[in-house]
Amino acid sequence: MEQAMIIVNPTSGKEEGTGYVRMAQEILEGQGYVITVKETQQEGDAARFSTAACEEGYGMVVSIGGDGTLHEVINGLTGRQQCPKLGIIPLGTVNDFARAIGLSLIPEEAIRTLASPATRSVDVGQMNERLFINVVAAGALAESVSSVTSEDKSKFGSLAYFKEGLKELTGNTPNHLLINHDGEVWEGDSPLFIAALTNSVGGFERLAPGAAVDDGLIHCFIIKDLTILSTLTASISLLLGNLKDHKGVEYFAARSVTVQSAAPMRINVDGEEGPALPVRLSVLPRHVRVVVPEGESR
């Protein structure tokens, strides 16, 4: 019989993650899987568990948690000789990747999707030696978002990010960036750079409405000004789905991007703190198979 591993972050979804494990087990057992449940306790656990699932020939790995848990699972899955298909039960604060791929954000409905025969092969981003599934951001605003605590995420949800962002906005100072993309160069001051694989970033599903999870491209936004006034007009453009046309924004799509800064600067990767610049970003096209609702496969 085929094996499936459920990897659950017990602190996700206002600490309700373990409550959905039994339901997921029942669905998977109904599909003929033998189930192993792994509960994360510290950073790196989810990656180690998913790597073990690859090495032991599991047919499916299920991530129960937020974008951070999914980020680790992806890093453990890829680059292996045998890569199980991936099921996702979104319980995080934002759940950008689940939004982008058309999964329900209602946990019970997402769990029922595990019985679907449909899969979709999605792009994975490579950042130096690390992988990402949704977004890389650089700048003081991105650094402030990384400082949001798990306690605040549980208590305030997405408002926790908004609170930290407002604090940074009032005293934002641009950083001098040098960005190479597919043979072209951009250099200048920017308080925020965003590189997205999908259309959803920070819960905004219209950041890059033309982006798809399997288009082989990194969709990049260089924000050139974050004053209160420009932020207001950029927010309106974001809601309308035309942020890339805003006069304070430089947009491009590329297969390879390198970002450097004059001053030391850390980045945010899939909602979590990442390494310092410089970074090189590229795409591993259609690298992981994700279980999706019937009718969503491509």
Of the spans 75-89, 136-150, 201-215, 268-282, which averages the highest pLDDT?
268-282
Report the relative pairing of strands 192-196 and 256-261 from DSSP bridges.
Answer: unpaired
Taking 90 as the threshold, does the pLDDT of residue 103 lie above it? yes
| Angstrom distances, CA of residue 188 to CA of 70, 178, 289 | 33, 7, 38
Average pLDDT over residues 172-192: 89
For range 233-259, the mean pLDDT? 72
What is the separation, in whole angstroms, between the first and last Cα of the chain?
A: 27
pLDDT computed for residue 133 by the predictor? 94
> Angle 102-108-112 (CA atoms, 0-180°, nearest 5)?
70
Q: pTM (2 decimals)?
A: 0.84
For 7-18, the pLDDT digits (tens) are: 999 887 666 777
**What residue type is 159 in one-letter code?**
L
Residue of 272, 273, 294, 296 marked catalytic: 272
Which numeric CATH code is attached to 132-284?
A: 2.60.200.40
Q: Which of 152-156, 246-250, 260-264 has the lowest mean pLDDT?
A: 152-156
Between 174 and 203, residue with greater pLDDT:
174
May I ask the CATH class of domain 3-115?
alpha beta
3 state DSSP class of 264:
coil
Residue position matching structure tokens 């999870």: 213
Residue ranges per domain, the chain? 3-115, 132-284
Name which residue leads in pLDDT, 24 or 205: 24
Tokens of 130: 């690390």
Q: Report residue 242: phi and psi, to 5°.
A: -130, 40
Going by pLDDT thresholds of 50, 70 and 90, the confidence category of residue 182 is very high
**Residue 205: active-site member:** no
